[in-house]
Every structure is written in structure tokens, then in C-alpha cells.
Structure 1
Amino acid sequence: MGIFYALPNLRVLNVSNNNLFEIKRTLFMAPGEIAPLELLDYSSNNVKVLDDSVFCRLKKLRTLNLWLNQINRIHPRAFLGLSSLQTLHLQGNKISILPDDVFANLTALEKLDLSKNNIQKLGLRVFGERILRKLIYLDLSNNYIADLHPLALSSMPFIKELRLRRNRLVSLDLRMFAPLRQLQLLTINENRLEEIDGEILDTLDRLNHLELNNNRLTFLPDLKSSQNLLQLRNITLEGNPWQCLCLDEITSWLNGRHVSYARPSSAYFSGRKPLCVVTPMDKCLRDLQETKAQGIVESYEKI
């Protein structure tokens, strides 16, 4: 029998900031019973493993806080039964592998935070094949993701905020963004991106906030020909080895659209760090292989 079985009306349980090292499925109710919990805070403990069906009796749970544990292994069916779960916090753990279909049954999920883990790869079936119609917020920032399957996010067409900051992405695939037609905020700053395909920008017609700073971008597609990004209001650019002619074109387009890009507090906009590289070309060079041959990134890094 679970230790909380004598509290049949318990809706909120906070056991955070202890030294708890495991979660058992029998912890909350007697076998066969359904727990009435709606919020469970198990954060800041020492849990390392999420076992098979460990939360299966928490069918009414809406919020599950598991941040700042030591979680390094998640069973593919760990979240089975959480049919009402809306918010799942897993940030600040040691997760390196996400099993196939691990989030597939969370059909009520609205917000998922996986930031500050050790995730290196996001496979095709992590979120399953079923459409997660409620999911609007996904945070994968501060990981080590270098391998992001082009269709990994295809089950979340209604997502509005996608955070991929501080990973190891070198390129982006059009197939990843094509289903994300509701996306309003995208952070892909502090990666290793060298190029962004113009067709990707054309799919983001509802985007109003875009963070591109601190990548390895030397140019963007010709924005003058773009029929989208009509909702864009904020963008971050600094910390990229832009060709100065390309940056001039970008900022001219942004100024014409009244898009905010300059951050006065930034070292780049206060003159302490370079914003771009002067090149011998008389136009913005939009060919990645040619920019590599010109050594533009290396020139920027020497400034």
C-alpha cells in the first residue's frame, strides 16, 4: 500500500529538495487504485531511473516536476497512463538517450522542458506517430544535439515555441520545419549553423521571434524575395561571421519591416566585438562552398 493512500483527496504533493532516489508506482495508491493527484513535484532529488509504468496510477495528473534530479535512464513506457498530463519538466538531469515513443501517449501534453540535459540525438520516433495536438512549447536547449532527425517534430504541428539554443547543430532540414506552421518563437542561437535554406524561412509565416546569434552564418537567403516572415518583430544576429555586405542587406530589410535586432547592451553593438567581416567581393556571396574557400569564418575569428 502506498504511503499516501490515507489521503484520498490529495491533489498536490511536493516532495522536492529531499534525498529521494527512486519513484515506485505503488507510492501513491493501493494496487488497482487511481490516485487523484493533479500536481506532483519531485524536483531536486536524486532519482536516476524512471521505470516502466511508474506513473500509471496518476491518470489525473496535470503537472509533473522532475527537474534537477540525476535521471539518466527512462524506460520507453515510463509515462504510460498520464493521459491528463499537461506540463512535464525534465530539465537539469543527465538524460542522454530518449527511447522511441517515450512521449507518444502524452496526448494532453502542452509544455515539455528537456533543457540542460546530455541529449545528443533526437530520433524519428521519440514523440511517436500520433499527432500531439495540445503541445505548444518544447525546450531542447542546452544539450549536445548534433543529430536531429528531419521528421522528429512532425507529430507536433501546433507547436508555438521551439527552443534549440546551445546545441551542436550544423545544418537544418526543410522537412523539420514544414509541419510547424504555427511556430511563433524559434531559438537556434549558439549552435554551429553555417547556412539556412530560404525555403525554411518561407515556411515560418507566423514567426515573430527568431534567435540566430552566435552561429557560423556568413549570409542569409535574399530576404527581399521572401514573401513570408511577415510577422517577424524580433531577431538576434550578433556573434556570426557575417560578410559586411550581407549584414547591410539584412539590416536594411529589417529596418524596412521595423524588426528589432540591435541590443545596445551587447558587446557587438557597443563596438567591443566585431559584427561582420569586410571582404574583397562587391556583393553578398551566398554560396557556402565559396565562403569557405574565401576563409571568411577564419578571418572573423582573427579580428
Structure 2
Amino acid sequence: MDSHFRGALWTILILFTLPHLTYNMLCPSSCLCNFRGAVKCVGDTITDIPKQLPVHTYLLQLNGTIMNVINEQSLANRDLLLRFSLTHSHLHTIHPRAFHVAPQLKSVKLSYNDLSTLPARVFSPMTTLEQLHLDGNQLETIAPDMFEGLVGLLDLDLNRNKLSSPSSDVFDKLSSLTFLNLGRNSIKKLPPTIFHSLTNLNQLMLYNNELEVLEPGIFDKLINLEELKIHQNYITSLSPQVFWSLKNLRVLTLSSNRLQAIPEKSFYNMPKLRKLTIYNNPLLSLPDQLMGHMPDIIDFYLYATNLTTVPGNLFANMSGLLRLNFHLNDHLRELPSDLFCCLPKLEKLSLRSNNLHYLHPRLFSGLTTLGILFLNDNKLQSLPDDIFQDLSRVVSIDLKNNQLMTLPGDSFLSNTALKALGLSGNPWDCTCSIRGIAKWIRHNEHVVLDRQDVICHSPTYQLLRTVGSLRDEEFNFCDTMTVTPSYFLTHKPIKTFHTTSTRGQTTVAASTTTPSPKTSTIIQGATQQSTTPSSQPSLHTTVLPTTLQTPTPTLPNKEFLSIPETPSPPFYEMLVIEQGPEFVHHNPHKAWVYVWFLPSDMTMTGLLMFSHILLVVTGLVLILGALFYMYRLNKTVNELKTECAHPPGL
């Protein structure tokens, strides 16, 4: 039983290994052979197609050879060969009958060689040929009968050649063609009927040429076209309705041309469109009627233009849009309030690197599915309180590199899914108005990924502090009431200064010890008047015209400045408080009076004093050391002079 079992195993093993042994024995030294019939040969020792190949070879790939000619008999006796490629070699000549001996071929790839011309009708005998790649060569012209007889050709690649003006009938016999690549050539103009016989074409590549115009009717017969790429050309204008026959089109790229305007209704009658790019064109405006019904579109690219604004209904027919790239428009200053009204599925919106100064409060109200929002690198100086209120699914918001000085503290309270927020590169003003957002940042440090770079730019005493490091108690002075400064026209009072606030604004007010039954003060920025009962006689008060913001801690009631009977007008025209509470001096400048204070922190004061003394002592020590060094140097020089004048032994 065991011997029968071993015999069966040996038989199976021999049957499986025999094809491998046979193929390896017949495979040339510079090739790799597959028992299924695939052969790949690589190397600069190959000068012609190998003669000895496995009998059942159906795929032959030659790559990186020094073969430069395909002879009349190079492909002879290869009856089972279906796919042949000779690429990245130095092929420059093909015999006119080279493929007559292999009419059964279905695929021929001659990519990246040195072909500059091809014999007429060289491929004609291959009536079953489905794929022909001639890309990466030096072809300048194609004879009208070059593709005659290729009735079954589906895939033709002429990319990366030097074609400039193909004839109008060059593709007339290729009615079965589904893919045509003419990209990266030097084509300046295409005849209006050149594609009229390609009724089955699905993909047409015309990118990276020198086309200046698209002739009217050039695409009229391409009723099955699904992808049209015309980017990176010199197109300055479009004919009206040039795309109207492309009812099955899914991808259209018009980017990187020279379009300054687009005709009305240019993108109508394309209900199956899924991707549209018109970026990197010097567009100055867009018509109100531009986009037709496009429920399936998911990607739209409109950036690097000269647009200053766009029609409010631009995206109204794009209900299926998922990604909108509307950035790098240096002149785009404003957006219509209803621009994004009809995008219920939008997931990504990029408005970065525009010139936006203002956003309407309801601009994003319809984007309930938005996940990523880029607003960085604009000129935004402020944001409406509830602009992000409806973005319940937003995960990332980028506000970096704008001109924001503050944000409402509840700006992101409704964005419960938020995981990444960028706030750096803004000139944050760390006065009372920053209190709310500073508190939010402290409680959501994991969300503000760049929190270490969210830096105070004003006032001066807060410079280089991070907004997240500001504590609530530092804003206690913001909770008191603001009273405007006043001075008296009669009497000679002694005034006590204190600060109060109204909704984040603070001013310095002057109260007096002069008797008054009622002292009335006007609250700057408020509509109410407060009165304080007193047994003192009434005094006339004059309110200064300006309220001054004070970012300092609460100032204690302390008599530290005496006001003369006739006060100095410059001192009372404008008063700016920089720090408190210890008064140092004031400095009038252009009707402003800057009052400077030293911090009352004894530790800091002691450290500064110690540093000053240490620097003075160090300077004295260095001076004394220099004097001593000069004394020693002078003494040594005198001794040397004496020795030279009276040498020993004389």
C-alpha cells in the first residue's frame, strides 16, 4: 500500500515539474520564462528577438535592450504569440513587412524608443490587433493610411511624441476605438472633423499640447465619451455649446489654460459629470448660468483664478458634491451668502489662500455633513459669533494665518466632533475680549494642535504669551463697570483714579473728595446713568470724548495723582493705561498721553535690581582688571628698555 502511495506521489510530482524543467531548458540566458507562456528579456546584450523560445510563448516582453531594428523575420514562426512589447530600447527602424509574419498579434507596445517615422500600412495585416502603444517616441507625422485595416483596435497611445497637426482623416477607419491618447505632443490645432468616426470612444486625452481653440462641433459625434482631458493647453476661449453633445461625460479637465471667460451654459447637458476642473485659468468672472444639472458630481476644482466673486447659484445644481476646492484665488474678496446653500453632501471645503476679509453669518449653515474646512491664509479680521453653529460633523477647521484678533468664546461649542483646530499666525489681542476663547483653548488643548504657536501680539506686556496660558483671574478687572474720565472746571480737588468696565471696555475715571450730594458719571458705551448719594454739594462734571482700553489688573483706590485747578489739555485729551498699579511717569504724544507703570511684583522687581547691581559690579571689576593689566604691561616694557640700554658685561 505504501509503495503504491509513493508511486502516485512521484507521478504527480513529475507531471507538475516537467513543464518547468522544459521551459527552463528552452529559456534564453537573458530571459525569464513562465511555464504558462510568458517570457521577459532584459539587458543590453539583446540585439534581436531570441530565436529559441518555449513553443507555447504567448507573451514576449523585451525591455532595456540595444535592439534598434525589427527585421522582416524577427517575429516569424511565433504562431501562438499574442502580445509583443519592445520598450525603453533604441529601436529606430521597423521593416515594412515586420508584422506581416505575425497577423495574430492582439497587443503591440513599442513605447519609449527612437522611432521618428513608420512605414505606411506597417500594422495593416493585424486585423485583430486591440492595443497599439507608440508613446514616448519622436513621431512628428502620421500617414493617413497608417492605421488602415485595424478595424478591431480599441486602445491607441500616441502620448509623448512630436505631433503638431494630424490630418482630419487619420482616425477614420478606427470605428472600434475606445481609448485615444494624444497628450504631451505639440498639437496647435485639430480639424473639426478629426474625431467624427470615433463614435465608440470612451476616453480622449489632449492634455499638454499647444491648442489655442476648440473648433465648434469637434466633439459632436463622441456620444459615448466618458473622459475628456484638455488641461495644460493655450486655450483662450470656448465655443458656445462645444460640450453639449457629451451627455455621458464623467470627467472634464480644462485647468491650466488661458481662459478669461466662459460662455453661458457651457456645462449644460452633462448630467453624468462626476469631476470638473477649471483651475489655473485667469478667469475674471463667471456667468450666472454656467452649470447645468449635475447630481452625480463629487469633485470640483476652481482655484488659482482672478475671480473677485462668483454667482450665488454657482454650485446650486451640484447636490451630490463631496469635495470643493475653491482656493488660491488671490483676488477673491467676498462670497455670496447663499453660495453653499445646496450642497447637502459636501464633506470637504477648501477656501484657503484667498483674499477673504469677511464671511456671512449663514454662509455655512447648509453644510450639515461637512467634515473638513480650510480657511487659512486669508485676510479675515473677525468671524460672526455663530458661523460654525450648524457644522455638527466638522472634524477639522483651519484658521491659521489670518488677521483675527479675537473670537467669541462659544464659537466652537456646537462642534462636538471637532478634533483639529488651527489658530496660529493670527495677531491675537489678549485683552478682555480674548477671555472666552482663551478659556475654551485651556479646556480643549487636545483640539488646538498648534496651541503653542497661538501667541499674544498685544498689549505689549502680554507679548509672546500663549493665549491658552491666560488665566481667568487675569480678567477680573473686566467684570467691573467702566466710568469715563472727568475733570472739574472749578475748585481744586484731589482725585482718586480707579477702573471699571462695560462689556470688556475699560477706562480710567477721576473721582473727587470735594463735597457733593450726588456725583453723576456717564458710562461710555452704555445707555444708563448711575448716581451715588452723598452729603457733599453737587459739582459740574465734563466727560472725556474717548474711552480707553485697559488690559491691566484691577487698580486699587489709591490717591496717586493730583490734578491742578486748570488741567493740562494734552493730559486729558487721551489717556492710555499700559500697566499698573505703581505710577511712574506719563508721556504726551499726538494728543495721547501714555501713562507707564511698573509691575508691583516684588520678586520681579528684586530680580531686576539684583541684575542691575550685578552688571554694575561686573563692569567695575572689568575696568579695574584692565587698569591693573595696563600697569603690569607698562612696568614690563620699562624693564625691557632698561636691559636693552645697559646689557650685562658692558
1:239-265, Cα deviation, whole Å (9 max, x unpaired): 11111x417765x64886433123xxx
Q: Relative CO higher for 1 or 2, CA cutoff 8 Å, sep ≥ 6? A: 1
Instruction: Note the aligned Cα RMSD (angstroms).
Output: 2.7
User: Equivalent of 1:89, from 181, 185, 205?
Assistant: 205
Q: Is the 8 A contact 2:188 2:209 kept in 1?
A: yes
The 1:34/1:17 distance shift into structure 2, 3 A limit, reads closer
Aligned position for 2:371: 259
Could you say which residue in structure 2 is the equivalent of 1:278?
381
Change in CA separation of 1:190 and 1:23 when aligned onto 2, cut-off 3 Å: same
Residue type at the aligned position of 1:11: E
Partners of 2:233 and 2:135 lie apart in 1 by: 19
- Displacement of 1:52 after TM fit? 1.4
Find the partner of 1:217 among 328, 332, 335: 332
Instruction: Tell me which amino acid in the other structure corresponds to 1:152.
Output: S
CA 1:23/1:137 → structure 2, altered by over 3 Å: closer, same or farther? same
Q: Which residue of 1 is the match for residue 129 of structure 2?
A: 10
Matching of residue 47 in structure 1 with residue 163 in structure 2: yes
The question of 1:21 aligning with 2:140 is answered yes
CA contact (8 A) 2:281 2:305 kept: yes
Change (3 A) 1:98 1:248: same
Is 1:179 equivalent to 2:281 in the alignment? no
Question: Cα distance, 1:73 vs. partner?
Answer: 1.0
1:76 pairs, out of 182, 192, 205, with: 192
1:139 maps onto 2:258 in alignment: no
Structure 1 spans left out of the alignment, 5+ residues: 263-267, 285-298
- d(CA) in 2 for partners of 1:218, 1:240: 7
Identity of aligned residues (%): 24
1:217 deviation in Å? 1.9
Alignment CA distance shift 1:135-1:7 (3 Å): same
TM-score by length of 2: 0.39
State the distance in 1 between where 2:298 and 2:219 align.
23
Quote how far apart the aligned CAs of 1:24 are. Answer: 2.9
Letter matched to residue 152 of structure 2 = P
Distance, in Å, in 1 between the alignment partners of 2:169 and 2:222 is 13
Distance 1:94 1:200, change over 3 A: same
Deviation at 1:180, TM superposition (A): 3.2
The Cα offsets for residues 233-286 of structure 1, whole Å up to 9 and x where unpaired, read as 11111111111x417765x64886433123xxxxx84xxxx422438x99x9xx
Partner Cα distance (1:2, 1:155) in 2: 40
Instruction: Give the Cα separation in 1 of the matches to 2:367 and 2:267.
Output: 32
Q: 1:199 aligns with which of 304, 308, 313?
A: 313
Is contact 1:34–1:59 with CA below 8 Å preserved after alignment?
A: no
Residue 227 of structure 2 corresponds to: 111
**Counterpart-to-counterpart distance in 1, 2:208 and 2:360:** 36
For 2:316, what is the secondary structure of its paired residue?
Answer: helix
1:57 counterpart = 2:173: yes
Specify whether residues 247 and 175 from structure 1 end up closer, same or farther in structure 2 by C-alpha distance, changes over 3 A only: closer
Q: Which amino acid aligns with 2:236?
A: Q
Range that drifts further, 175-184 or 35-44: 175-184
Give the deviation of 1:218 after TM superposition. 1.8
Q: Which residue of 1 aligns with 2:302?
A: 188
User: 1:255 and 1:82, CA in 2 relative to 1: closer, same or farther beyond 3 A?
Assistant: closer
Written as runs of structure 1 = structure 2, the 5 A alignment for 1:281-300 is none
**Residue from 359, 365, 387 that aligns with 1:246:** 359
**What is the alpha-carbon distance in structure 1 between the residues aligned to residue 345 and residue 297 of structure 2?**
11
For residue 147 of structure 1, report the CA deviation from its aligned partner.
Answer: 2.5
Q: Structure 2 stretches of 5 or more lacking a match?
A: 1-119, 388-402, 404-426, 428-650
Change (3 A) 1:11 1:183: same
Deviation at 1:97, TM superposition (A): 1.0
**In the aligned structure 2, how far is the partner of 1:53 from the partner of 1:253?**
54
Measure, in 1, the Cα distance between the counterparts of 2:334 and 2:261. Answer: 23
Alpha-carbon displacement from aligned partner over 1:6-26 (angstroms, at most 9, x marks no partner): 212111001111111112331
More strand by share: 2
Q: Judging changes above 3 Å, is the alpha-carbon distance between structure 1 residues 229 and 256 closer, same or farther for their aligned structure 2 residues?
A: closer
- How far apart, CA to CA, are the structure 1 residues paired with 2:285 and 2:322? 22
Q: Structure 2 CA distance, aligned partners of 1:240 and 1:254?
A: 21
1:35–1:255 CA distance, 2 compared to 1 (3 A): closer
Shift of the 248–239 alpha-carbon distance from structure 1 to 2, 3 Å rule, reads farther
In the alignment, is the contact (CA less than 8 A) between 1:54 and 1:79 conserved in 2? no
What residue identity is the alignment partner of 1:27? M
8 Å contact kept, 1:247–1:276: no
Q: Which residue of 2 aligns with 1:170?
A: 284
Secondary structure of the 1:26 match is coil
Preserved contact between residue 76 and residue 99 of structure 1 (Cα < 8 Å): yes
Measured in 2, the distance between the counterparts of 1:125 and 1:249 equals: 35
**TM-score, with structure 1 as normaliser:** 0.80
Alpha-carbon contact 1:143-1:166 (below 8 Å) kept: yes
Amino acid at match of 1:177: M
Query: Residues 21-44 of structure 1, C-alpha deviation per residue, up to 9 Å, x if partnerless?
Result: 112331012xxx562110001011
Q: Report SS of the residue matched to 1:49.
A: coil
Q: Distance in 2 between matches of 1:97 and 1:78?
A: 14
Query: Secondary structure in 2 aligned to 1:261?
Result: strand
Matches of 2:218 and 2:306, distance apart in 1: 28
Aligned equivalents of 1:75 and 1:12: distance in 2? Answer: 25
Confirm or deny: 8 A CA contact 2:325 2:351 kept in the other structure. Answer: yes
Larger radius of gyration: 2
